[in-house]
Amino acid sequence: MSRTEPQSRADQPESAQELGRLNRPLSLQAQVESVLRAAVAARRFPDDRLPTEVELAEQLGVSRETVRRAAGVLMREGLLVKYRRKGTFLAPLSMALAVPDAPTCLGYLQASYGTGATNEAAVCRTIDGLILQGAVDEAGRHGMTVLVEHLHSSGGRDVVRHLDRGGRPAGLIFASCGDDKLIRGALGRGVPLVLVDHDLDSSGVSTVRDDSYEGARLAVGHLARSGHRRIAIAYWRQAELNPWRMRGYRQGLRDAGLPRRQRWELLAELNEAGARDAVRQFLALAPRPTALYCFNNALARLVIDEFARQGVRVPEDVSVMGAGGEEVPGLSCTAIDWHAMGRAAVEVLRRHLADNNGPPEHRLFPHTLNAGRTAAPLK
């Protein structure tokens, strides 16, 4: 499958290399909107009812007014409904999809991994929120509305069936969805769609995702240049949902002329129990690797905490690197602009809406290296 690969900066002529634009930090209100959208997409509120403004303000560490303004934005987008004397609730599915002006609406279907609340939070929360925020921001620039729905593994097809009813969205964004049959079914309905944070071996589906393969090579290369010769990886058990990062890790070892051992590829769940298991496996290795590359930043943070409980110093005894996701202060990792990926998904979808016969697009977003403090040169 052809993809548009990002050009290496080393391959560009000196005159073409420019300083990158600085990312402006999101306002508190925008951050609260992002958190709420991610929670709405995941249907994380019991009985679909939000906590009170006071409770949300305390949980998020912001003012009540900031929560009120953020919730108001989501109400105007049709994601939340407020009932007097009852509280604020998630908009019912039928209400969200029965929109009168379908050409200005995009459906955003967020997948659940179905691995439990803790896993789902570790895998999805920050990344999903940033991608969704980017999609909403870009859609808003063009006067479009984003309708967010959550795809459970058992009920995804029921959600897509609603697209056959009146007022269906003009296009769909599938976020982190690995159900090929579901995606092909939606494609067969003639609705333009884009996959975000996933890929599909089909010439008819556009994709926007991070370049996990090159990101892993970047991380392994950084560790190798720091003198590490034995580099292990702590990987998500559901490796089929992102095979590129493991391939990039293995290629990075080959690039540096380093050995690869199957026992150094540690599979774990993305939660505290998984981190304990990964550390247990790591400490049992002989000879023990000097560096550990983790599937994402959330797992890296949990692994570092577990190393501390075991009396293992980071980075003095072992270097640890993450691979993007939540912000972990001081963590050595590769980073990706998830917000820009969400914006790109809407850009691609709008081009499909303007040209139904246009070819699919495959966009890869490069990782950048954050040196951090948890990976150090080997002494």
Statement: 212-335 belongs to CATH 3.40.640.10: no
Distance CA 336, CA 324 (A): 6
Taking the CA of residue 152 as centre, how many other CA atoms within 13 Å lie in the half-sphere pointing to its CB? Answer: 7
Q: What pLDDT sits at residue 343?
A: 95
pLDDT tens track for 316-342: 999 999 998 888 899 999 999 999 999
Per-residue pLDDT band at 12 (split at 50, 70, 90): very low
Q: What pLDDT sits at residue 80?
A: 84
Determine the topology of domain 28-91 in CATH.
Arc Repressor Mutant, subunit A (1.10.10)
pLDDT tens track for 346-369: 999 998 888 766 788 899 999 999
pLDDT tens track for 93-132: 444 433 334 457 888 888 765 444 444 444 456 777 888 8
Distance CA 209, CA 8 (A): 17
Two tokens, residue 127: 């990344």
Instruction: Examine residue 51 and say whether the peptide bond preceding it is cis (omega within 30 degrees of 0).
Output: no
* Of 200 and 334, the one with more pLDDT: 334
Q: Domain ranges for the chain, please list them.
A: 28-91, 212-335
Instruction: Print the SS3 string covering the chain.
Output: CCCECCCCHHHCCHHHCCCCCCCCCCCHHHHHHHHHHHHHHCCCCHHHECCCHHHHHHHHCCCHHHHHHHHHHHHHCCCEEEECCCEEEECCHHHHHCCCCHHHEEEEEEECCCCCHHHHHHHHHHHHHHHHHHHHHHHHHCCCEEEEEEECCCCHHHHHHHHHCCCCCCEEEEECCCCHHHHHHHHHCCCCEEEECCCCCCCCCEEEEECHHHHHHHHHHHHHHCCCCCEEEEEECCHHHCHHHHHHHHHHHHHCCCCCCHHHEEEECCCHHHHHHHHHHHHCCCCCCCEEEECCHHHHHHHHHHHHHCCCCCCCCCEEEECCCCCCCCCEEEECCHHHHHHHHHHHHHHHHHCCCCCCCEEEECCEEECCCCCCCCC
pTM above 0.85, yes or no: no
Sheet holding 206-210, edge to edge: 145-151, 105-111, 171-175, 193-196, 206-210, 362-365
pLDDT tens track for 96-105: 433 334 457 8
Q: Say if residues 102 and 167 touch (Cβ distance below 8 Å).
A: yes
Among 280, 226, 283, 278, residue whose Cα is nearest residue 252: 226
pLDDT tens track for 268-310: 998 899 999 999 999 999 999 999 999 999 899 999 999 999 9
Among 361, 369, 303, 289, residue whose Cα is nearest residue 335: 369
Find where tokens 């092909």 sit: 184
- Indicate whether 238 pLDDT > 60: yes
